[in-house]
Structure 1
Amino acid sequence: MNGPALHEPSAPASWRVALPHTAAAVPVARALVRSALADIQHAADSDTAELLTAELVANAVEHTKGDAPIELVVELLPTGCRVEVHDPDPAPPGNLTVPEPSVEPDPWQEHGRGLLLIRTLSSSCGHRATESGKAVWFRLPVVPSQRKPS
């Protein structure tokens, strides 16, 4: 008799959604990420993925001009997830991967901590040029499932 079957990691799944260039895009993006991660057994931390996605989408809405839609891309990989936000502005996103020297976010200000959160909580992050602007991304690793007491 053979032992228990080992489950091979499933093929990557991905979603690509155009979002309005308004603040209304943030809760829609969070809901999509939550739904995507709920569909797989071993996923990245959903709360962290939602938070970082909200930061990327809010930055794209706030810091790019015009009303062209932004695009959310969510990829589920055997090693975790990758989230990208595409916007029409080719300018890189400030200090995403390298913090500005001696610049600390003001704890009393509502803004200024988004890129710090992304840098700190993701396993990796960055940006790349696209044909229509740029994509800003982060990755999160799979969170091991918790053992339940017998």
Structure 2
Amino acid sequence: MNGLALYERPSEPAASWRIALPHSAAAVPVARALVRTALAELKHGADSDTAELLTAELVANAVEHTAGDAPIELVVELKPTGCQVEVHDADPVPPGDLTRPSGKEPDPWQEHGRGLLLIRTLSSSCGHRPTEQGKAVWFRLAAVPPQWRPHPA
């Protein structure tokens, strides 16, 4: 789908966005902005900074680790209990150590190698699944109870 779609499910109050992004580094800030806007417009309880960071990691990984120029698809689903973000790409190979640690510490002098660790550590849950066109890599964040949210100054 080229464009942005918003819909609500009658049985469960939720909002979902699905957008095709270019297979380039330019997709990362667009994805971050979409997640930030989605959470802000609905006054959703998931932590926006964490959602943006983890979305950026998923999109950057899809751009860096998949060949070709097929678009990447970003899916954001907001529910009362939290949010789920998925990034779809054309490569069926699952991400390396997303759901379990590799057993070695990332090299502190390297620029790369911490994205999956961040997703594993900061999300409520994460994973991947095959799709007809390749795979979807996802994370979930739980909603923060209203009394724990920062109050605007």
TM-score with structure 2 length normalisation? 0.87
Aligned ranges for residues 1-150 of structure 1 at < 5 Å?
11-101=13-103, 103-146=104-147
User: What is the distance in 1 between the residues matched to 2:83 and 2:28?
Assistant: 18
1:14-49 CA deviation, whole Å, 9 max, x = no partner?
000000000000000000000000022342000000
Give SS of 2:118's match: helix
User: What is the distance in 1 between the residues matched to 2:147 and 2:37?
Assistant: 20
The farther-off stretch of 137-146 and 108-117 is: 137-146
User: What is the distance in 2 between the residues matched to 1:105 and 1:29?
Assistant: 26
User: What is the distance in 1 between the residues matched to 2:14 and 2:45?
Assistant: 12
Q: Rg bigger for which structure?
A: 1
Moved over 4 A (4+): none
The farther-off stretch of 103-112 and 89-98 is: 103-112
Contact conserved, 2:44 with 2:78, CA < 8 A, in 1? no
Give SS of 2:130's match: strand
Quote the offset at 1:145 in angstroms: 2.0
RMSD between aligned alpha carbons? 1.5
Sequence identity (%): 80
Contact conserved, 2:66 with 2:89, CA < 8 A, in 1? yes
Equivalent residue letter for 1:29: A
Quote the offset at 1:143 in angstroms: 1.0
TM-score with structure 1 length normalisation? 0.89
- Report the number of matched residues: 139
Quote the offset at 1:146 in angstroms: 3.6
Quote the offset at 1:78 in angstroms: 1.1
2:7 corresponds in structure 1 to: none
